[in-house]
Amino acid sequence: MHEYLRICEGLLFLAGSEGVSSSQLSAVLEKTITETEQIMIELQQELEDTKRGLRIIRVSGNFQLTTCAEHIPYFEKFAYVPETHALSKAALETLSIVAYRQPITRVEIEEIRGVKCDRSLQTLQTRQLIEDIGRAEAIGRPILYATTANFLTYFGINALTDLPPLPEFNEEEELQLTQSLFDRVEDHFATGE
């Protein structure tokens, strides 16, 4: 049973703020919903009994991993501690797309990057490098993102016009570059180097 507790804890972490339903857990664990819910009750109890910093709550039928309410003052302090570490590659990629294409929506950024960017956008907003500047006139009225004055300060530039120009590729050059990358990947796997 302890192995299932650890597995569920990991699944809750992976699910993030969306949480995970009993039926999803049941399918992954190959257990009945009743057995799965018993595992979750046991995991909830273990986290409370050992006075860990995390709790499991149930919201709209989904289990979610959350922090303890009594630690809120520490979380508030943490939100105002200045960032000292560098931005991740994903955050830098997202930031560069926003800088060169602003105003831009999350969906447009994800189309360019080819991957989700929710976490990067959140990091960049927390660090006040980008901001929500309104809504696009499109279906669903998605949020538009743009860089901030802090962005200019962070990178030591006076204006967006000081950004280095993007390399220009025509369609044929892009295809050649893509084919070259595929060739290198194929060579790597063929030779093992």
Q: Do the domain assignments include residue 21?
A: yes
Domain count, the chain: 2
Q: Is the domain of 28 the same as that of 113?
A: no
Domain annotation covers residue 81: no
Verify that 60 and 131 share a domain, yes or no: no
Same domain, 51 and 93: no
Last residue of a domain, one of 45, 71, 97: 71
pLDDT at res. 124: 92
Q: Domain for residue 175, yes or no?
A: yes
Q: Is residue 78 included in any domain, yes or no?
A: no
Q: So what's the pLDDT on residue 98?
A: 93
Is 79 domain-assigned? no
Residues of the chain with pLDDT under 70: 1, 81-85, 168-193
Q: Count other C-beta atoms under 10 Å from residue 49's C-beta.
A: 8
pTM, whole model, 2 decimals? 0.48
Task: Tell me the CA end-to-end span of the chain in Å, nearest whole number.
Answer: 43
* DSSP string of 45-76, one letter each residue: HHHHHTT-SEEEEEETTEEEEEE-GGGHHHHH
What domain range is 117 assigned to?
89-186
Domain with residue 112: its CATH number is: 1.10.10.10
Q: Which pLDDT belongs to residue 153?
A: 85
Question: How high is the pLDDT of residue 1?
Answer: 59
For residue 110, give both structure tokens. Answer: 């994800």
Domain shared by 41 and 97, yes or no: no
